[in-house]
Amino acid sequence: MDIIDYYNWRYATKKFNPNKKIPNTDLELIKESIRLAPTSYGLQLFKVIIIENQVQKDELRKFSYNQSQISDASHLFIFCNSTKVFEKDIDVYIQNKSISQEMPVEENKGYGDFLKKTLLNKDSEKTSVWTKNQTYIALTHLMTACASLKIDSCPIEGFNTTLYNEFLDINKKSLSAGVVAAVGYRSESDNSQYYKKVRKSTKDIFEIH
């Protein structure tokens, strides 16, 4: 299969088979696809909370307009974006860059200072919009990786952020739940899998100048 086959195969799964769980080897590949997603300045200002515990999934369904994907998927990936940039985030990045690229940390100091000057005083609303946007890139990495593994997924924005944040107790970590991916295997009785894709035509989307 090529990449376009994967995109045609995947669909926003409405009904998961609650009895089929993702093997650990595939979970690791999905996690790696998220880890490798690009982010602004490479700072990766998010955490992904993975829920496999059934009691917790059932609880979260109550805060997600009762969508069955939340309780029936094998795993929930909750993308939580940072609501504030800390000096430590930049120091950790500079340290990591220096080690990964085998260069003295002093050589990256100027870049670190530039990032601090640019990001530390950004207001919290702007910071949240900026970091949340980046979680969607990681989300698409997840969905493509899943499709390549014949694993189904459903991106979900239909949930109550405040209740998720309270449930996950993440406000104190300056994180906020932005978007969720329910991941697992489609139920045979999910009619959505048989629907034709609804998309605009190429000509309606692109302009060549």
Ligand X SMILES: Cc1cc2nc3c(=O)[nH]c(=O)nc-3n(C[C@H](O)[C@H](O)[C@H](O)COP(=O)(O)O)c2cc1C
Q: Which residues bind ligand X (CB under 6 A)?
A: 11-12, 14, 67, 154-158, 179, 197
Q: Which is nearer to ligand X, 197 or 209 (CB)?
A: 197
Cα separation, 154 vs 54, in Å, equals: 18
Cα–Cα distance for residue pair 116/123, rounded to 1 Å: 13
| Shortest distance (Å) from residue 61 CB to ligand X | 12
Between β-strands 46-51 and 152-156, what pairing exists: parallel, antiparallel or unpaired? unpaired
Q: Which two tokens stand for residue 2?
A: 């090529």
Q: Which residues, at least 6 apart from 167, have a Cβ–Cβ distance to it below 8 Å?
A: 59, 60, 63
Is the C-alpha dihedral spanning 157, 76, 33, 36 positive or negative? positive
Least distance to ligand X, CB of residue 99, Å: 35
The whole-angstrom separation of Cα 153 and Cα 12 is 6
Please report how close the Cβ of residue 175 comes to ligand X at its closest, in angstroms.
Answer: 18
Give the residue nearest to ligand X (CB): 158
Nearer to ligand X (CB atom), residue 175 or residue 182: 182
Minimum gap (Å) between residue 162 Cβ and ligand X: 16
* Beta strands at 46-51 and 75-82: parallel, antiparallel or unpaired: antiparallel
**Residue (100 or 191) nearer to ligand X, CB:** 191
Residue 79 or 93 having the CB closest to ligand X: 79
The DSSP call for residue 74 is S
Which residue number, 85 or 154, has a Cβ lying nearer to ligand X?
A: 154
* Minimum distance, C-beta of residue 73 to ligand X, in the bound complex (Å): 11
